[in-house]
Structure 1
Amino acid sequence: MTVSWTTFQCNNSDFRVRLIPDGTEYPVSRLALQRSEVFRDMFACCDTANQETSSGSEGGEEDVLELHEKSGDLAALLRLLHDPPAPPSELPRTGKFDPIAHDPATIIPLPLLLSVLFVLADKYAVEEAIGSVLRQHLLAHAPTHALEVYGFASWHGMDWEASAASQYVLPLASYRFEEVKLIPNVAAYHKLVRLQDFRVKALRDLLLGEEIFPHSYGECSSQGRKTMDSWDRQRKALMGRIECGESSSETSL
């Protein structure tokens, strides 16, 4: 089911957030807002101040928080705090060696993640549980937007996500200059080159060391030598076709 991040409604509100540019008010839950460290600290300070100066004010302004945000961004922030997203759903695998794939309908769109949700999560210090799920959605885009995910993760210190996304990046020479500019700096570029080189060498070493008859198990006396020679030719040919970002099905003979 598609979630609208531009609208927000709270049915159990006990607080209000007012948009400064146009005065629009959103009924919200104080408990939900405290998933943000910024709001949590604000409530702690204000509640302490109210206890020290309890004058029995009857005005309604004490339960209103004014924020200067775009309307769509504020709605996205409130939805993020009140109804945190679930991780993307994995699709069933047809084989045990198939890579993990996610249901596209359950993945938060990449532009929304990069330009809105991660920005808000950082600005309002959203709790780690929500940040972790956002990173899962980011990584779910890696198979189709590998370089963009790698660049964003590298720039924002998400080392694990950057490393995981790098496995989907094609050889860098295959990208246009405008695409390579998604890599934020020389250090991230160099790390990606080293990761790709390491993976290619590891796969080639693994393939070269794989015997068709390990410890002579299953070797046929009449066809054994012919089979081993055939396997040796095929694995050497396959070694030359191993490149970064390719799946096993793409490199199979």
Structure 2
Amino acid sequence: MSWSIFQCQDPDFSVRSAPDNITFGVSRHAMQRSEVFRDMFSLCEQEPGNSPEAPDAEGPNVVDLHEPADVLAILLRILHEPPKPPEEIVSDPPELDSYVKKYNEATVIPLPLLELVLLHLVDKYLLDESITRVLEQHLLAHAASNGLRVYSFAVANGMSKVANKASHYVLPMAQYTLQDVRCIPTVKAYHDIVRLQDFRVQALRDLLLKEDIFPHGYGACQPHAESTPTTWDTRRKALLARIETGSDIAWEMSSLVETFRDCKTCQKACIAAVDMLAYKCRRIPKTLEKLPSGYLE
């Protein structure tokens, strides 16, 4: 799909790209998805001598816009064919982590195009909120692969809900280059991410240290009452130094299930401990808004 190509099948008005002197036939009805054009048509209808007849390239039914033709075509496409939400790929069985979502890439508007539209066109032409909400959904669909970029763009443009959800996908800050982090618009936005990631790392470490394979001796295997906890403890201590904000410590510890394959009691206890780790990990805040009150102050 080429967003810079636009053609209206049944035009009753025209808009012209002043810089490129290219005229597009448009639908008045579609153009009224913009408050700017809605007000313009309302004012024009109040003036005598104006009529909603078919457009005449030199007549009163033409308005000049100071937009390049390719940008204007994008605006017109959005107004005439409002984008649908990106198509979510539902896993079977469903993901336990509701924040992890996957989308059909063919249904997602490219990120550079979204940045242009959201930064330049939405506010300038006051597009309907229904369109803006869908565009924000498309922006968020890029967060899993472009967490820092989406987070920074959302913060810079006052999209607090998008910024909050995108904060979950920002990689450990140490992995970014100086050039990468320059996109973060404010010191507070940078500090918030650092605090979120530090909170998660500390919480994951504390959780791992407190989770025993035989909690309070429950389900203990008498023949392996010492060796199994030692193996579990050795593995988790080795993992502690490698924990990052996005670490899946339950998955890391699950490799021990095979280690205990020769003892059904120990293996059952290991599976239960790993499942409990996974459950408790899901309760650790993943986004800024889930942090304890006052933590970011």
- On whether the aligned pair clears a TM of 0.5, the verdict is yes
Separation (CA, whole Å) in 1 of partners of 2:174 and 2:221: 45
Which string of whole-angstrom CA distances, capped at 9 and with x for unpartnered residues, describes residues 159-213 of structure 1?
Answer: 2222222222222222211111111121111111111112222333333443435
Match of 2:36 in 1: 38
| Matches of 2:7 and 2:51, distance apart in 1 | 30
Q: List runs of 5+ in structure 1 lacking aligned partners.
A: none
Please give the alpha-carbon distance, in whole angstroms, between the structure 2 residues aligned to 1:221 and 1:190.
49
- Aligned residue pairs total 248
Q: Which residue of 2 aligns with 1:19?
A: 17
1:86 matched to 2:84: yes
Structure 2: which amino acid aligns with 1:157? G
C-alpha displacement at 1:248, in angstroms?
5.7
Structure 1 residue 97, shift from structure 2 partner:
3.6
User: Could you tell which deviates more after superposition, 211-220 or 152-161?
Assistant: 211-220
Q: Which amino acid aligns with 1:41?
A: D
State the 1:249 CA deviation. Answer: 8.3
Tell me what 2:279 maps to: none
Query: Once the two structures are superposed, what CA deviation does each residue of 1:21-67 show, in whole Å capped at 9, x if it has no partner?
Result: 343221211121111111122222222x23xx368899953322221
Q: CA deviation at 1:251?
A: 4.9
State the secondary structure of the residue aligned to 1:66: strand
CA RMSD of aligned residues (A): 2.8
Amino acid at match of 2:157: H
CA distance in 1: counterparts of 2:225 and 2:91, whole angstroms:
35
Q: Percent identity?
A: 51
Identify if the C-alpha distance between structure 1 residues 251 and 55 changes in structure 2 by more than 3 Å, giving closer, same or farther. closer
CA–CA separation in structure 2 for the residues paired with 1:156 and 1:57:
37
Amino acid at match of 1:162: A
Q: State the TM-score, normalizing by the size of structure 2.
A: 0.72
Give deviations 1:107-136, integer Å, cap 9, x for gaps: 211111113454211211111221122112
**Aligned twin of 1:128:** 129
SS in 2 for 1:167: helix
Provide TM-score, normalisation by structure 1.
Answer: 0.84
Of 62, 65, 72, the residue aligned with 1:64 is 62
* Cα distance, 1:70 vs structure 2: 0.4
CA contact 2:5–2:70 (8 Å) conserved in 1: yes
- SS of the aligned residue for 1:232 comes to helix
In 2, Cα distance between equivalents of 1:57 and 1:89? 38
List per-residue Cα deviations over 1:69-118 (Å, max 9, x = no partner): 10000000000111111222222425534732222222211111113454
SS of 1:144's equivalent in the other structure is coil
Equivalences for residues 112-123 of structure 1 within 5 A: 112-123=113-124
Once residues 142 and 57 of structure 1 are traced to their aligned partners in structure 2, the CA distance between those partners, rounded to angstroms, is: 44
Unaligned runs of 5+ in 2: 256-297
* Aligned ranges 1:199-238 → 2 under 5 Å: 199-213=200-214, 218-238=219-239
Distance 1:176 1:86 in 2: 35
* Alignment check: 8 A CA contact 2:50 2:60 kept: no
